[in-house]
């Protein structure tokens, strides 16, 4: 069962990348998606697929810090997706702009679900990867680079596509490395 959770985890990260690919096409593209907002459904499904593995990381300080952090990030991305579903459902751009302006002024919603909160996911992914520094350095280094890209790579167009693809590869290397596969 634990291998199944690891597979779901990596698939979840790939769904995050797919969602970011769709979002990179621009707001008009996303608003035109029918019958549903496939971009944000992909993000939502991606974070939900991470949950089963979250409780199966080895007991360590990195896990004790990483699990609450990643759960905050998952919660914030779920909240962000709900808000984005509301944006997507509006009949025209004027109403979308009005809704965005209203949310921007309500910092108790804007900050955790749009501005700051989703970054907790990447920090949690980074912290949990530290559990494997002794067994799979390459995978951990990829996740470190992806996390640094989140915070310092704003000059990279559509950087979150690369962040989630690199993170998925990093966790794939970690989870399916012979040293760690039999360990947990």
Instruction: Spell out the domain ranges in the chain.
Output: 2-181
Angle, helices 159-175 vs 119-129, to 10°: value is 30
| Residue 182 scores a pLDDT above 70 | no
181 — pLDDT class (breaks 50, 70, 90): low
Question: What is the model's pLDDT at position 184?
Answer: 47
* pLDDT > 60? residue 154: yes
Token code pair at residue 23: 């979002």
**Structural Rg of the chain based on CA atoms:** 17
Can you tell me the distance from the alpha carbon of 107 to that of 134, in angstroms, rounded to the nearest whole number? Answer: 41
Query: pTM of the entire structure?
Result: 0.93
- The Cα 122–Cα 148 span in angstroms is 9
Q: Is the pLDDT of residue 178 over 50?
A: yes
Mean pLDDT of 156-180: 92
**CA 69, 73, 126, 178 torsion: positive or negative?**
positive
Q: How confident is the model at residue 177 (pLDDT cuts 50, 70, 90)?
A: confident
Residue 134, pLDDT > 80, answer yes
The mean pLDDT value for 144-161 works out to 94
């Amino acid at each position: 069962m634990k291998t199944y959770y690891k597979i779901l985890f990596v698939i979840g990260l790939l769904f995050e990348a797919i969602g970011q690919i769709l979002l990179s096409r621009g707001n008009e593209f996303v608003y035109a998606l029918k019958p549903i907002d496939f971009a944000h459904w992909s993000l939502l499904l991606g974070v939900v697929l991470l949950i089963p593995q979250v409780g199966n990381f080895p007991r360590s300080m990195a896990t004790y810090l990483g699990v609450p952090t990643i759960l905050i990030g998952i919660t914030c991305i779920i909240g962000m997706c709900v808000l984005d579903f509301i944006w997507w459902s509006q009949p025209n751009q004027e109403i979308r702009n009005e809704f965005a302006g209203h949310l921007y002024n309500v910092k108790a919603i804007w900050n955790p679900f749009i501005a700051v909160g989703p970054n907790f996911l990447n920090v949690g992914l980074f912290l949990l990867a530290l559990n494997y520094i002794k067994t799979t350095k390459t995978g951990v280094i990829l996740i470190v680079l992806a996390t640094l890209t989140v915070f310092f790579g704003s000059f990279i167009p559509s950087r979150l596509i690369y962040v989630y693809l690199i993170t998925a590869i990093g966790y794939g290397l970690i989870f399916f490395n012979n040293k760690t596969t039999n360990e947990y």
